[in-house]
Amino acid sequence: MMPNMKSDRNIDFLYEIGSLRNIPRAWQQILTGKVQNISEHLFRVTIIAWMIAIAEKADTEKVIKIALIHDTSESRTGDIAFMHRNYVVRHEELAEADIFKNTLLEKEAKSLLKEYTGRTSLEARIVKDADNLDVDLELKELSKIGDSGAIGMQKQHRPTIRAKKLYTKTAKKMWDDIQKISPNGWHETLTGKWVQSKKSAK
């Protein structure tokens, strides 16, 4: 007797979401340092969005949900960078519909993704701000190791993001802080305290 091969869409979905960790961000093509995969990007965007939501007094639960799923279509479409957009057409809405079809999340995900795409709410705009800020954090990290592509993008392209692409005051403040704060600042502070405590103990 053949085993029952009927698929449970909820479990299929979870495996598919897991596969996002195997998809690198498209700008790996021009950056020499190792870039985030899609799962890593989704995680930090969610944390950033959560922080902005608190500061902007938005619906935190909605923000977190949108952030977690905002790039799920890339499981089927892949990621593309700005230079690819002149040559590639991605059917993102179709991919989103098929990914969530017949899962417990289908109805809510469809509504949230429509909101995000249209930037029709404060929560959707917050997630887009977080999406942009994650780019700047990663560029700063890559610049620290001397990635010339990241350094060039920081100088030539990203300054326009603050003025033209960020929606919230909180995100603009965070963008300014990202430019000033070292990616290793948190670690250097902890190390300094540890060294000082060792000296004091002698």
Per-residue model confidence (pLDDT) at position 2 = 46
| pLDDT tens, residue by residue, 129-139 | 999 999 999 99
Q: Distances in Å between the alpha carbon of 6 and those of 2, 9, 35, 73, 166?
A: 11, 9, 37, 24, 45
The Cα diameter of the chain in Å comes to 74
- What does the alpha-carbon distance between residue 185 and residue 189 come to, in Å, rounded to a whole number? 6
Does residue 25 belong to any structural domain of this protein?
yes
Per-residue model confidence (pLDDT) at position 159 = 82
- What does the alpha-carbon distance between residue 93 and residue 10 come to, in Å, rounded to a whole number? 19
Does residue 124 belong to any structural domain of this protein?
yes
Does residue 190 belong to any structural domain of this protein?
no
Residues of the chain with pLDDT under 70: 1-6, 193-202
CATH of the domain at 176: 1.10.3210.10
Does residue 171 belong to any structural domain of this protein?
yes
Does residue 142 belong to any structural domain of this protein?
yes
Nearest to 65 by CA among 138, 12, 121: 121
In sequence order, the 6+-apart residues with CB closer than 8 A to the CB of 97 are 110
Does residue 165 belong to any structural domain of this protein?
yes
Does residue 108 belong to any structural domain of this protein?
yes
Give the total number of structural domains in the chain.
Answer: 1
Structural domain span for residue 110: 9-184
- Please state the pTM of the whole predicted model: 0.89
Does residue 2 belong to any structural domain of this protein?
no
Nearest to 10 by CA among 104, 74, 96, 73: 104
